[in-house]
Chains A and B, each alone.
Chain A
Amino acid sequence: MLQVKDAVVRYGAITALHGISFEVQQGEIVTLLGANGAGKTTTLRMLSGLHAPSGGQILFEGQDVTLTKAHQFSALGISHVPEGRRIFPQMTVEENLEMGAFVRSGGFGDDIEKMYSIFPILKDRRKQMGANLSGGEQQMLAIARALMARPRLLLLDEPSMGLAPMIVETIFKIIGDIRAEGTTVFLVEQNAAQALRLADRGYVMENGRIVFTDTAKNLLHDERVRAVYLGESVEGS
């Protein structure tokens, strides 16, 4: 579904991504792991058109989207949930959801009801301002807003950031449900244990390179991953 080939991203003289390649198959949850500064967010910024790659190629459903602009992605079927949630603070929950369907024509009342059934808390808060929601509610709203465009691929940037473990649990469960409904998910996470339990496959980044990849199950038991990302000391390594 999504293929990235040798993508290079530079910020001025600094190269942030040294030619990374990966792919996401239809119906998968793929996670990208890495420490701070490894290039995870840069990768997502590149995928969502906020920062154009200076080399390589990105294909979505066979179509070249390397130089597609950020605002064109949502019409193509890729929705991006940006880092830090970025909901509209002075719009109500409902208005935020309506804005999510901006690129679609026709009615979207059913979609809003559907979002309320996935995220019941948003229904209780429907008339409240985005700014007055808690962090977890804002994250749910950000995901729901992205889903309003009916994407085939959902890009999530650090959905667990700054949230209490119980909320993270809920959100990850919902991400699983979203995939079950047929939306492919590409997940960038620092919380490696959670992400790997949910995902099918994972890629591990270091210093702007993808250092290895495997199924999530294998990665969860991989000594290198356990040592670095799961915070467990591995004897004898």
Chain B
Amino acid sequence: MRRVWDNPLVRRLMASMAIAVVVAVVTGPPGSSEKPSAGLSGSFAEKSSFFGLFQTRRFVVFVAFALLFWGAWSLWLAWGEMVKFRSTKLLRRPRAVTERRSIRWSAAIVLIVIGFLLPTFVHDPFWQTVMVEQIAIYVLLALGLNVVVGFAGLLDLGFVAFYAIGAYATAWVTGALPTPAPFGGPINPFFAIPIAIVMVMLAGIILGAPTLRLRGDYLAIVTLGFGEIIAIFANNLYGITGGATGTNQIPHFSIHLGPVKYLWGLAPVPYYYLALGFVVLFLVVFSLLEHSRVGRAWTAIREDEVAAESIGINPLKYKVMAFSIGAASSGFAGVMTAAQTNFVSPTSFGLLFSINILVLVIFGGMGSIKGVLIGAIAIQTMSMYLIHTPPAGYQPPDLYIYLGALLVVMMIFRPAGLFPSRRRKREIGLAEAGEGHMDEVLTGDVP
């Protein structure tokens, strides 16, 4: 018995099976007070479709998943290094081509054109709404968090605070809150965009200046606290924010400039174009920043803070800058959400939201704008697909189980993310070789 257990193949098989059992139970039907065991038995015995091929019981599907996972895992351990080595060699030439400036620019332009034409292919109102509310907004948030986590190496678990501030700022200046609107009366949310962006950048400085003196784990905890504080403020300051019910009085965007009049209404497509414009804007600004003097200072701080200080970089200043700049895109995301749904309430801004954005960044590849963009689009599309065409027995909270499983698999096969930035990949490689720890890579606190 002992011999069998010592065989790593067997151990991995057992582990895969155990994961499958847990996932089957957690995603299965709930029990009831009359039949408490129904949750357990139903999880395995309930009818289910085997990848849409034929009808079977749930346990068959999960055993199949476990075997697939086990096979992939074992194959990767046996052949992964060789595959990586061979593919690196094989891809050297194609990579050299894709790294040419002209090729990269044309690829970017093609992508923008595709983005521009996308609504003409997607007619389903569900997907049109998803493109705005679930993809564009999350891409903006992930790009902003990437500046903080990926570029400056600061683990921020309260990033949702900036999104909330952006949304509430919009509600405030458009006169939707119990507090009277500033600037002599309600204004159009279109003009709330610059105001909200300035406000969240200021909020980044105000939240950043005291907290960013901390490092690593301490910073993560404090940012988590700040994120919660903002949500609790929104909930409890009834007379100012509208309390737990929030407000649903925020008007849509509109333009009245002389002869030009346009009103964004309920249709998602006009919002999509607005969001696309800002996504492109932030993409350009953030990529320019990455290679600027500021970006190099962030890299230096992430790699060795003491050394960065010794060559004259003020770590606090650049960290606060990262907070503030990263907040800008999420501030805009806040305006978008507020104006499109006409609604804000504190329940939208919980910890889970911050974690969700962090998952997008880690999945795509911290520090890599391209990776974060693709990661955010991929994950959000997958999650929405599960909602649009749910598999048998799927319930919305199950999403997090699948996302969690996806992250575990990612950490085994591609710990630096789907499309990692080269430098980050090497940093994680160093950590795996025993120089520094993984969490230090994440928090940028490499000694």
Q: Which residues of A contact B (CB under 8 A)?
A: 48, 50, 69-75, 79-82, 86-91, 98-100, 102-103, 129, 131, 145-146, 148-149
A98 CA to B295 CA, complexed, in Å:
13
A48 CA to B446 CA, complexed, in Å:
21
- Taking CB atoms and an 8 Å cut-off, the chain B residues in 42-92 that contact chain A are none
**A90 & B313 in contact (Cβ 8 Å cutoff):** no
- B426 contact from A50, A86, A129, Cβ within 8 A: A129
**A100 & B426 in contact (Cβ 8 Å cutoff):** no
Q: Which of B128-136, B230-238, B296-304, B394-402 contacts A (4 or more CB under 8 A)?
A: B296-304
**A86 & B315 in contact (Cβ 8 Å cutoff):** no
**B312 & A103 in contact (Cβ 8 Å cutoff):** yes
Binary contact readout B291-326 vs A (1 if CB under 8 angstroms, 0 otherwise): 001001101100110111111111100000000000
**B426 & A70 in contact (Cβ 8 Å cutoff):** no
**B430 & A70 in contact (Cβ 8 Å cutoff):** no
Q: Say if the beta carbon of B290 comes within 8 Å of chain A.
A: no
Q: Is the interface of B mostly helix, strand, loop or mixed?
A: helix
Of A72, A81, A90, A100, chain B has the most CB atoms within 10 Å of the CB of: A90
A74 CA to B299 CA, complexed, in Å:
19
Q: Say if the beta carbon of B432 comes within 8 Å of chain A.
A: no
A90 CA to B446 CA, complexed, in Å:
11
Can you report 30 residue pairs joining A to B where beta carbons are below 8 Å apart? A70-B310, A71-B309, A71-B312, A71-B313, A71-B314, A73-B310, A74-B310, A74-B312, A75-B312, A80-B310, A82-B306, A82-B307, A86-B304, A88-B299, A88-B300, A88-B303, A88-B307, A89-B304, A90-B303, A90-B426, A90-B427, A91-B299, A91-B300, A98-B296, A99-B300, A100-B311, A131-B426, A131-B430, A148-B311, A149-B312
- A89 contact from B303, B308, B313, B315, Cβ within 8 A: B303
By a CB distance below 8 angstroms, the chain A residues around B303 are 88-91
- Taking CB atoms and an 8 Å cut-off, the chain B residues in 254-309 that contact chain A are 293, 296-297, 299-300, 303-304, 306-309
**A99 & B311 in contact (Cβ 8 Å cutoff):** yes
**A86 & B311 in contact (Cβ 8 Å cutoff):** no
**B312 & A86 in contact (Cβ 8 Å cutoff):** no
- 7 closest cross-chain pairs (CB), A and B: A74-B312, A103-B312, A86-B307, A70-B309, A71-B314, A88-B303, A80-B310
By a CB distance below 8 angstroms, the chain B residues around A80 are 310
By a CB distance below 8 angstroms, the chain B residues around A86 are 304, 306-307, 310
- A88 contact from B304, B309, B312, Cβ within 8 A: B304
A149 CA to B311 CA, complexed, in Å:
8
Known: A88-B300, A90-B423. A102 touches B310 (CB 8 A): no
Binary contact readout B327-347 vs A (1 if CB under 8 angstroms, 0 otherwise): 000000000000000000000
By a CB distance below 8 angstroms, the chain B residues around A149 are 311-312
A99 CA to B313 CA, complexed, in Å:
9
By a CB distance below 8 angstroms, the chain A residues around B296 are 98-99, 102
Q: Say if the beta carbon of B435 comes within 8 Å of chain A.
A: yes
A97 CA to B446 CA, complexed, in Å:
20
A217 to chain B, nearest CB (A): 32
**A48 & B426 in contact (Cβ 8 Å cutoff):** no
Of A48, A69, A71, chain B has the most CB atoms within 10 Å of the CB of: A71
| Closest residue of A by beta carbon distance from B436 | A89
By a CB distance below 8 angstroms, the chain A residues around B311 are 74, 79, 99-100, 102-103, 145-146, 148-149
**B310 & A89 in contact (Cβ 8 Å cutoff):** no
A150 CA to B315 CA, complexed, in Å:
21
A91 to chain B, nearest CB (A): 7
**B307 & A87 in contact (Cβ 8 Å cutoff):** yes
